[in-house]
Amino acid sequence: MKILTLNIIIANELKNMIEQEHLKEGDKLPSERELCEKLNVQRLTLRSGLRILLQEGIIVSKQRSGYFVNKPRIEKSVFRFESTSEAIIGQGLKMEVRTLHVGKKEIDKRLSSKLKLPLGTEIYFLQRLRLVENEPVSLDTDYIPAIYVPNLEQHDTDHHPLYEIMATNYGIQVDHGEQEILVCEADDFTAEVLKVEPGTRMVYQQGLTYDINDRLIEYSEIIMKMDRFVYVN
């Protein structure tokens, strides 16, 4: 039997209130005094429930203004293999992709260890910015052995997902992958393109992608806004 603590119960009641009252992004929650009366709890208990919603990104707090409903967060699976595009589109959100760079380079020591290829091997370096509802939310960088995707730069990576291009033009069927989820701080370039302050804490996902023949075809690094993504089971 699962036992719920009081702060979780209050958090669930707050979530129900937001849903039942059809509060949407940017709407303000009632004041703490009103919420205490509505839920029949003390302020300290209420704040413990509000803290959970803040941590989950459901609401945001604005100094001297109160609590507001946050933008919906994009759910990414911890265990199921799916691309960022699939996660975003699967939730009915409008996505735009802007290719910042695509070209060849020789693999360096760091990438050699990731892709398990000899130093000097030619790889493609593909960097794209993803926007959701016109807001930049992630910076995706992919490294792919050039032998698998010759002339990749000739394809439209703004309007066609990478895995679709691989399947349609190169006969590569993506099958499974591995991922590691970390936290990083935005450097100057990342901060500029994602429109955050340098040093902002970001979600950092590293991934290895394999095809149906178990060939390692891609190493990826994705930097995501922490308030726009959440990982779920």
Query: Rounded mean pLDDT of the chain?
Result: 92
Regarding pTM above 0.75, the answer is yes
Instruction: Among 32, 48, 69, identify where a domain stops.
Output: 69
Q: Find residue 104's DSSP bridge partners.
A: 124
Same domain, 92 and 58: no
Check which CATH number belongs to the domain holding 65 and give it. 1.10.10.10
- Residue range(s) defining the domain that contains residue 108: 74-232
Domain count, the chain: 2
pLDDT tens, residue by residue, 11-53: 999 999 998 888 888 899 999 999 999 999 999 999 999 998 8
Q: How many CB atoms lie within 10 A of CB 66?
A: 14
Question: 56-60, 126-130, 182-186 — which is least confidently predicted?
Answer: 56-60
Residue 124 included in any domain: yes
Same domain, 185 and 226: yes
Residues near 2 by beta carbon (within 8 Å), at least 6 away in sequence: none
Q: How many CB atoms lie within 10 A of CB 158?
A: 10
